[in-house]
Amino acid sequence: MTHSPTDHSLTVEAPAIVVLNKLSVPLGRQIASLFDGELHGLSSRVEEADSSFDDTAKHLAALFEQGQPIIAIMAAGAIVRLLAPHLRDKHSEPPVIAVGEDGASVVPLLGGHHGANAMARTIAVAIDGHAAVTTAGDLRFQVALDEPPQGWVLANPDDAKAVMARLLNGETARIEGNLAPKAGWLTSSGLPHSDDASIRLTCTNRPVDADDGQLVYHCKDCVLGIGCERGTDPAEVFELAQSVLAQADLSPHALACIASLDVKADEAAMQALATEFDVPLRFADAPTLEACADRLKNPSDIVFAEVGCHGVAEGAALAASGEDGVLLVEKTKSKRATAAIARGSHLIDPASFGRPQGRLFVVGIGPGSEAWRSPEVTSMVSEATDLVGYHLYLDLLGPLVDGRTRHDFDLGKEEDRVRHAMELAGQGRSVALVCSGDAGIYAMATLVFELLDHGGLSDAASRIAIDVSPGISALQAAAARAGAPLGHDFCTISLSDLLTPWEDIKRRVTAAASGDFVIAFYNPVSRRRRTQLAYAKDLLLAHRPADTPVILATNLGRDGETVRVVSLQDLVIDDVDMLTVVIVGSSQTRTVATGSGKSWVYTPRGYGDKAGTKIGSAA
């Protein structure tokens, strides 16, 4: 039987204390002081909050999606209804606690084993209320067998429910294994013990196939150090890792992390290995590994000459396991890789060593409306430690910005913006480079890859992981608001000559006009540039009817949104500003009015010419 192990930390970030009226502010402030949290208030009723919101449902959902603990002074039923559509996986949900306005009741609704139960008890003591903890194991035994504390992992979580049911029904348990002395969270709990119990709670780092009535817990006090040549086959590294684990008689669940030299941060084989074992990857520079030189069993002058330390696999394993770490398996070689295992004298926190591979999320937030932002983009922004972007785009993220470091840039500083984001990621941070619309359409994604291609970045910044997520582009938003003008072949042309010579732009407009494409014009005008759109208008009038529909869409998805349709001959250049997208129809683009009197723009795709169609017939 295969199981997905559980390893859930009880450490939680500072919560958001949500209040809906000014009478709840004093209680909210008292609770906030317990956890160094922020007071979030409904803007229409609360003036003195640290952070304000207009829509309670959207705000709670945003906090929940980004994994921030929530303590809401409001009815428990209301919170349940508002968050119900967002519930997916109890193992990844943050703590959510409801507090009555009178402070009498404190109810952990979600994330009980992720800190909510403990937080509820802390709140109840401080405000002289009652913590309504309902988790059976917590109530009777003061322990949750399916949620071990940080640094421990349950290898067979699917069996925990049955074991807990037997314990609640009166059976006893015995705590066994070579790591039982380290499992104080079990031995000091209220679990009923007996030496001959049929329920076994096995604490070990060795591989164990669990029997009926047995739960197997592993302590993460070991580190796998890896070194390999560039481009090593992941299968080779995985086979080597399995070999050294077998030599040490260790379960992969005993690994706190995989460690290596920082120049290997983008090595595909290591990324694959970390994914296979579901453990963090941590990297340190050569001087950090060299500080362990006198503890190495197999120092190498050749390795020192190449990378600046006398051992990568042994050095990384020892450095990550702490000053008192010892080698369980010395450097072991395959054809192109090396591996070693070290054990620390205590639980190992991966974050205490080196840094992870930096990550850059290049995201498009659409025109700015939360409703038009993809769930993937929201997830990436929530995962980021730092947000980089034009200040208006960051403002449009609303509460998603909370708890993250902002790096605001003005317009015109695009290269500085992207370079800064990549160098931040090179420090091991998770960075979201925020663009409006789609990040790959006249936005920053292309500049990311230009900088990678042409160099000039630090070595660390060139080894980051990159994810690009699509967004709703301005042309898509404008088309949807107006109908379906992009229903047939279309193109986009930027009229800005800041980065593209005007002669090139003229050639593209001419080609699009003669090809009868629907054209979406980006950057149609600026304060200093008013003639390009006029040129395009005159050129297009020579190729398509004067009554060709033209869509002028401004502030799409935001306050002040306007969408107008005019004919090509009636297009007034001064009616267009920098925030307007202009879509010019082809010679086939039409308008149609509905019964309400609203006109829609569409470009036929040719269904009327298809055999068997009834379009255009009297049928």
Whether residue 614 is contained in a domain is answered as: no
Judged on CB neighbours under 10 Å (0-12, 13-18, 19+), 47 is: exposed
Domain membership of residue 571 (yes or no) is: yes
The answer on pLDDT for 11 being more than 60 is: no
pLDDT at 263 over 80: yes
Q: Residue 70: what pLDDT? A: 95
Residues 394, 457, single domain; the answer is yes
Full residue range of the structural domain in which residue 184 is found: 152-219
Average the pLDDT over 546-559 and give the result: 90
| Average pLDDT score over the chain | 89
CB 223 within 8 A of CB 317: yes
Q: How much is the pLDDT for 166?
A: 87
pLDDT at 168: 80
Q: How many CB atoms lie within 10 A of CB 496?
A: 18
Vertex 170 angle, CA 167 and 171, to 5°? 60
Any domain includes 146: no
pLDDT value, residue 367 = 81
Do 199 and 316 lie in one domain? The reply is no
Question: The CATH number of the domain where 128 resides is what?
Answer: 3.40.50.11220
CB atoms within 10 A of CB 134: 11
Instruction: Return the bridge partners of 599, or none.
Output: 593
- In angstroms and rounded to an integer, the radius of gyration of the C-alpha atoms of the chain is 30
Least confident of 60-69, 87-96, 401-410: 87-96
Region 455-476: what's the mean pLDDT? Answer: 93
Q: Which amino acid is at 340?
A: A
Residue 249 pLDDT more than 70?
yes
The answer to whether 269 and 236 are in contact (CB under 8 A) is: yes
Same domain, yes or no: 232 and 346: yes
Position 608 in a domain: no
Q: How large is the average pLDDT for residues 277-281?
A: 95
In a domain, 365, yes or no: yes
Residue 349 has pLDDT above 50, yes or no: yes
Q: Are residues 105 and 198 in the same domain?
A: no
Q: What CATH number is given to the structural domain containing 285?
A: 3.30.420.180
Q: How far is CA 258 from the centre of its chain?
A: 22
Q: What percent of the chain has pLDDT over 90?
A: 66
Q: Which residue has the higher pLDDT, 128 or 608?
A: 128
Q: At what angle do helices 532-541 and 502-514 cross, to 10 degrees?
A: 30
Rounded to two decimals, what is the model's pTM?
0.76
| Residue 252, pLDDT above cutoff 80 | yes
Q: Are residues 466 and 524 in the same domain?
A: no
Sheet holding 580-584, edge to edge: 490-494, 518-522, 580-584, 549-554, 562-567
Shared domain for 499 and 380, answered yes or no, is no
466 and 365 belong to one structural domain: yes
Q: What total of structural domains would you count in the chain?
A: 5
Q: Please check whether residues 193 and 116 belong to one and the same domain.
A: no
Q: Is 144 exposed, middle or buried (0-12, 13-18, 19+ CB in 10 A)?
A: buried
Q: Is the pLDDT of residue 399 over 70?
A: yes
Is the per-residue pLDDT at 24 higher than 90? Answer: yes
pLDDT in tens, 170-187: 889 899 998 988 888 888
Q: Is the same domain home to 269 and 336?
A: yes
The tens digit of pLDDT for each residue in 413-426 reads 899 999 999 999 99
Q: Domain boundary residue among 447, 472, 497? A: 472
| Domain termination residue (choose one: 164, 199, 219) | 219
Residue 136 has pLDDT above 60, yes or no: no
Instruction: Give pLDDT tens digits for 304-344.
Output: 999 999 999 999 999 999 999 999 999 999 999 999 999 99
Q: Assess if residue 413 is contained within a domain.
A: yes
Distance CA 134, CA 140 (A): 10
Domain boundary among 472, 488, 513: 472
Distance between CA atoms of residues 257 and 402, nearest Å: 29
276 and 319 share a domain?
yes
Q: Are 378 and 304 in contact (CB under 8 A)?
A: no
CATH number of domain containing 524: 3.30.950.10
Q: Are residues 465 and 485 in the same domain?
A: no
What pLDDT shows up at residue 60?
Answer: 92
Q: Are 203 and 183 spatial neighbours (Cβ–Cβ below 8 Å)?
A: yes
Strand 152-154: give its sheet, edge to edge. 152-154, 214-219, 199-203, 173-176
Whether residue 619 lies inside any domain: the answer is: no
Give helix 116-127 / helix 25-35 axis angle, nearest 10°.
120
DSSP code at position 231: T
Per-residue model confidence (pLDDT) at position 419: 96
Lowest pLDDT segment from 4-13, 565-574, 583-592: 4-13
Which strands form 483-484's sheet, in the order they lie side by side?
Answer: 483-484, 599-602, 590-593
Residues near 128 by beta carbon (within 8 Å), at least 6 away in sequence: 103
Cross-strand bridge partners of residue 566: 550
Distance CA 490, CA 487 (A): 8
Whole-angstrom distance, CA of residue 60 vs CA of residue 97: 12
Task: Return the percentage of the chain with pLDDT > 70, whole number.
Answer: 94
400 in any annotated domain: yes
Q: Do residues 226 and 345 share a domain?
A: yes
